[in-house]
Amino acid sequence: MESVPAFFMKMPKDTTFFAFFSEGNRSKRVLWLLFGIIGLSLADLVLTTMYLTSVGMAEGNPIAAWLITRTKSMWVLALYKGVTVATCVSLLYYMRKTSRGEMAAWCSMLILTALSIWWNQYALYQPQLPAPEGQIVMIQEDHSINGTTRNTQEPTTLLQ
């Protein structure tokens, strides 16, 4: 009869990789997902700001597009994004111990991962794409006052 090493016989359940996916670790999983949601949401805001203030883009979110064209302010867009992400993360944090809360966190992370893949493809192919209908470009205008040039720091929204 072969003897089995004691290491394999007395391996605690909590040290395996799959223990992370146990019922008792649901809160930890949801917290990690919330960090991912916040990180990907910040990346989306940074990329949106970069494209709007350089080559322009068509904003896919109709509320964000309306805010940008009406207020001509990136700060309003950042505030809107911050409030919506904070609301989502707060609700998911409150529901972190339930299976529905975890499922909602996984769905949110999946959606933001798909958005990140879309951004990657957009960045690769954007130079070859024609200007979309409803493209928004935020630019800084220089105004001349008494023969000197002054940057007003007020962006102008152009719809092309």
Report the pLDDT value the prediction gives residue 111, as an integer from 0 to 100.
96
In this prediction the pTM is 0.72
Report the pLDDT value the prediction gives residue 129, as an integer from 0 to 100.
79
Largest CA distance in the chain: 99
pLDDT band at 57 (very low <50, low <70, confident <90, very high): confident
Tokens of 28: 């930890």
Amino acid making up residue 66: W
Instruction: Flag whether pLDDT at 9 surpasses 60.
Output: no
* Count of positions (residues) in the chain: 160
Q: Over the stretch 69-106, which tens digit does the pLDDT of each residue have?
A: 899 889 999 999 999 999 999 999 999 999 999 999 99
Report the pLDDT value the prediction gives residue 143, as an integer from 0 to 100.
45
Dist. CA 159–CA 10, nearest whole Å: 67
Report the pLDDT value the prediction gives residue 157, as an integer from 0 to 100.
53
Report the pLDDT value the prediction gives residue 150, as an integer from 0 to 100.
43
Per DSSP, the residues of 89-151 read: HHHHHHTTTSHHHHHHHHHHHHHHHHHHHHHHHHHHHGGGSPPPTT-EEEEEEEEEETTEEEE
pLDDT band at 109 (very low <50, low <70, confident <90, very high): very high
pLDDT band at 123 (very low <50, low <70, confident <90, very high): confident
Report the pLDDT value the prediction gives residue 20, as an integer from 0 to 100.
57
Which of 23 and 128 is assigned the larger pLDDT? 128
Of 141, 110, 116, nearest to 47 by C-alpha is 116
List the chain domain ranges. Answer: 24-130
Residue 68 · residue 138 · CB < 8 Å:
yes
**How many CB atoms neighbour CB 142 within 10 A?**
8
